[in-house]
Copies of this chain bind each other. A is one copy, B any other.
């Protein structure tokens, strides 16, 4: 019997990754290409098509669907990019139409951060802790975020849901954010923010990596330690608003900044405990609810989460179709 497989595409600002995925198992093959933004949109779409066709030609079995993840903002269901900061010049690009017309078949399309959250929920931390709802924050160059509710991505009504990296943590005189707003979490908890905060506090700091700030903090540098204390506070404020609004069982932290978890976690938990009554009622230390508590954990799948989520997306759509059919009866 032919095996069922899907193909997933992770379209990033730097890398274009395309994988074949055996349903319920693992990657069959992963192709890594550069995203040739300088060559124009058509070249990128052509590269994507060629990689997909190369995988199809392997004869892995029966291809049941193609999922594509892209940086947002992405307007769904139309599949139109809206001024995406990581795909400069692609504003208004009809990504779905372009890919579907190149391939001659339908695809499933989603924001890449939502796909990473879906993969974590299905195959990562969600599986580990038995939770089918979670919010994932990826602390990298920016702060990506995705939301999964009852096992399915919460895309929002127009595809733009799950952007918790832009919860406001500094209402007044907030640092301007790449999103056009100010005072967003991203400006206080991303690797970029960590470097900026360190420079503001310590005149001599000339490195450009958050890892160097981490090493200084590990060595006892007071400024570096205060930076991570503030990262913890910003995350504590954000989680307070998320926990009180959503009462999810699981919140995940991913991305490179997590190497400093031991430095920012104490302040994060302190703020959350002090300010969120829902957290106090459900925290692991509360004996009344320790069996069923609010957890904050590290993501488990690492950088491949987005690509895995793209591979899972067609399976999710098939499930929805079955449910929709049943509910019509």
Contact = CB atoms under 8 A, between A and B. Distances in A.
Interface of A: 73, 75, 82-83, 131, 133, 145, 147, 149, 154-164, 166-171, 179-183, 233, 237, 240-242, 244-249, 274-278, 280-282, 289, 292, 323, 326-327, 329
A282 to B, nearest CB: 6
26 contacts: A82-B281, A133-B157, A145-B245, A149-B154, A158-B282, A158-B289, A158-B292, A161-B245, A161-B247, A163-B244, A163-B245, A164-B245, A167-B241, A168-B169, A168-B241, A168-B275, A171-B233, A179-B277, A180-B277, A181-B240, A182-B274, A242-B245, A245-B245, A323-B323, A326-B327, A326-B329
A278 B157 CA distance: 11
A241 B162 CA distance: 10
Integer count of this chain's copies in the complex: 2
Contacts of A248: 156-157
A86 to B, nearest CB: 14
A160 B237 contact: no
Nearest to A272: B181
Q: Which 5 A-B pairs have the closest CB atoms?
A: A156-B247, A161-B247, A181-B275, A157-B249, A166-B244
Contacts of A149: 149, 154
B277 A73 contact: yes
B237 A168 contact: yes
A111 B249 CA distance: 18
Given A73-B281, A149-B154, A292-B157, A275 B182 contact: yes
Nearest to A152: B150
Most buried by B among A156, A180, A277: A277
Nearest to A80: B288
Contact of A326 (B169, B240, B326): B326
Contacts of A327: 323, 326
Contacts of A281: 73, 75, 82-83, 158, 160
Nearest to A277: B179
B167 A169 contact: no
Contacts of A162: 245, 247
Nearest to A174: B275
Nearest to A286: B82
Given A163-B278, A181-B240, A276-B181, A247 B170 contact: no
A180 B280 contact: yes
A168 B160 CA distance: 22
Nearest to A183: B275
A247 B171 contact: no
Contacts of A164: 244-245
A170 B174 CA distance: 12
Most buried by B among A83, A246, A249, A282: A246
A311 B179 CA distance: 43
Nearest to A166: B244
